[in-house]
Structure 1
Amino acid sequence: MSTPVERSTSTSSTSTSPFRDEAPDRDEAPQFVLPLVVRIERDAPPGRTDALETAARAVLTLLADERSTAPDGEWAEAVRDWQDARIRKVVRRARGAEWRRAGALPGITVTGDAAEVRVFPPVPLDAWPKDLARLQVSGTELDEPQPPAAPAPGVPVLWMNPDVAMSAGKAMAQAGHGAQLAWWELSAEERAAWAASGFRLAVRTAAPADWPRLTAAGLPVVRDAGFTEIAAGSCTVVAAHPALKGATP
């Protein structure tokens, strides 16, 4: 049985693709998807926040990699095409031999406290590598071993909407969207500083009373396309990088 494809749309009030002078018709462009695979072993699954933060860092790591940024980089064309269309990400799960097969494909594995997420260069929406296409989207429910601590001062925070329930896989994709929108807004120097920190960041659920202020602060906001789990247009993440106007401590 084929698995559903995540079709989230990331938008902010000021950002579009960094590769075009004018906003393209994203729906008319060839559609690509960024695959992410989270390792979920039966006896040692990662915590939810750890997985979300690791997925966001994985997206940033791929965006900053020379294979994506160099004009002749082996992933550069796919990354450009992907960012010129809908910013789609799909999170699938793997364990055991599935994880080892995924690890043999070109990509980057990023680790958190216990989480492991492998990100792959974008692929056409209908042309997944066989060893990734067979992996399941469902089953990415993860527990939180203990409530996460408050973010340290100065750390970029991806604030999740407190009123929107999402599976861990869906939330991982949304956190990746938020990190990417923040990346687009930063200068080259700010990006370099973030990369030098190992893309330090936090993912936290906003307090209900704070959410209206965050969405009105002029920060990058992720709005979902509504193809899976949640209603179209739902605001899922606000990306508060300290370098961006409107970010809060």
Structure 2
Amino acid sequence: MPLVVRIEKAEPPARTDALETAARAVLVLLTDERAQGEGEWAEAVRDWQDARIRKVVRRARGAEWRKAETLPGVTVDGDGAQVRVFPPVPLDGWPKELAKLQVSGTDLDDPEPVAAVTEPALPVLWLNPDLAMSAGKAMAQAGHAAQLAWWELTEAERAAWQDSGFRLAVRTAARERWAELSGSGLPVVRDAGFTEIAPGSATVVADHPALRSRL
């Protein structure tokens, strides 16, 4: 699944905003009517979900971003971030407008300290504190975590999350909590090891309150 994050030189998005927007973008595409039933994206989405839910994040700015927006997909806005997500396609079949975009260069920062999550009902995607990931890599992992949580929810729980606009937070777990979180029974993303980190590494835990209540 291709995701493109808009990174303009003058106003790059904050890292956490980009991660949260990418996670929401995955859910928005999965629930788009074109990805459902007999929709035009449905077969591609089903085939992809039956295989490996790999996601690749690339960056664009200026004319590159405008070209990406002309391709079939969905743009999701965060506080300042913009992410466009596209229906799944084989890596060797990417449209030329996306294939030429760079994977590198997605190192983003949070200019201000990120607030702690204090709302018990807010789903949180917890990043492994012991793994160093570029923003692009972390965006893909956050998208995986959101999708794993989605798969485990009931229809009513999915509807409630969708009605909220897929509200969620992405935070780095405290080291003293990571072992507890990753062994709690909540969905855990384990990376295939194609880029940046070792195969099998646990990258994100999806802490959705509906799933937590069933533990």
TM-score by length of 1: 0.84
Which deviations, in whole Å up to 9, do the C-alpha atoms of 1:142-175 show, x marking residues without a partner?
Answer: 0111111112221000000000000000000000
The answer to whether structure 1 residue 224 and structure 2 residue 191 are counterparts is yes
CA contact (8 A) 2:120 2:209 kept: no
Q: CA deviation at 1:136?
A: 0.4
1:88-103 matches, within 5 Å, as 88-103=54-69
User: Share of identical aligned residues, percent?
Assistant: 76
Give the aligned length.
214
Contact 1:52 1:203 in 2 (8 A): yes
Tell me, yes or no, if structure 1 residue 42 matches structure 2 residue 9. yes
1:14 alignment partner in structure 2: none
Q: Which residue of 2 aligns with 1:215?
A: 182
Listed as ranges, the matches of 1:92-241 within 5 Å are 92-151=58-117, 152-241=119-208
- Tell me which protein shows more helix as a share of its residues: 2
Residues 57-107 of structure 1: per-residue CA shift (max 9 Å, x gap): 0000001111112x2101000000000111110000000000000000010
Instruction: State the shift of 1:247 in Å.
Output: 7.9
* Superimposed CA distance per residue, residues 199-219 of structure 1 (whole angstroms, 9 cap, x where no aligned partner): 000000000000000011100
- C-alpha deviation, 1:246, in angstroms: 5.9
Structure 1 residue 55, shift from structure 2 partner: 0.1
| Matches of 1:174 and 1:129, distance apart in 2 | 23
Is the 1:51–1:116 contact (alpha carbons within 8 Å) kept by the matching residues of 2? Answer: yes
- Shift, 1:120, TM fit: 0.3
Q: Could you list the structure 1 runs, at least 4 aligned residues long, displaced by more than 3 angstroms after superposition.
A: 245-248
Cα distance in structure 2, aligned partners of 1:114 and 1:247:
34
Who is 1:72 aligned against? 38
In 2, the alpha carbon distance for the partners of 1:55 and 1:207 equals 22
Whether contact under 8 Å (1:219, 1:247) holds in the other structure is no
Q: Distance in 1 between matches of 2:65 and 2:212?
A: 40
Alignment partner of 1:60 out of 11, 21, 27:
27
Instruction: Please say if residues 219 and 246 of structure 1, whose CA atoms lie closer than 8 Å, have aligned partners that are also in contact.
Output: no
**Which amino acid counterpart does residue 179 of structure 1 have in structure 2?**
A
Question: TM-score when scaled to structure 2?
Answer: 0.97
Structure 1 unaligned blocks of 5 or more: 1-33
Do the aligned residues in 2 keep the contact of 1:217 with 1:247 (CA within 8 Å)? no
| TM superposition shift of 1:116 | 0.1
Residues 15-45 of structure 1, C-alpha deviations (whole Å, 9 max, x = no match): xxxxxxxxxxxxxxxxxxx000000000000
SS in 2 for 1:183: helix
Within 2, Cα distance between the matches of 1:196 and 1:181? 19
Q: Do the aligned residues in 1 keep the contact of 2:6 with 2:61 (CA within 8 Å)?
A: yes
2:19–2:135 Cα contact (<8 Å) kept: yes
Q: Provide structure 2 residue ranges, at least 5 long, that are not aligned to the other structure.
A: none
1:167-197 CA-to-partner distances (Å, cap 9, x unmatched) read 0000000000000000000011111100000
Deviates more, 1:142-151 or 1:51-60: 142-151
The verdict on how the C-alpha distance between 1:238 and 1:247 changes in structure 2, with shifts beyond 3 A counting, is farther
Q: CA RMSD in A?
A: 1.1
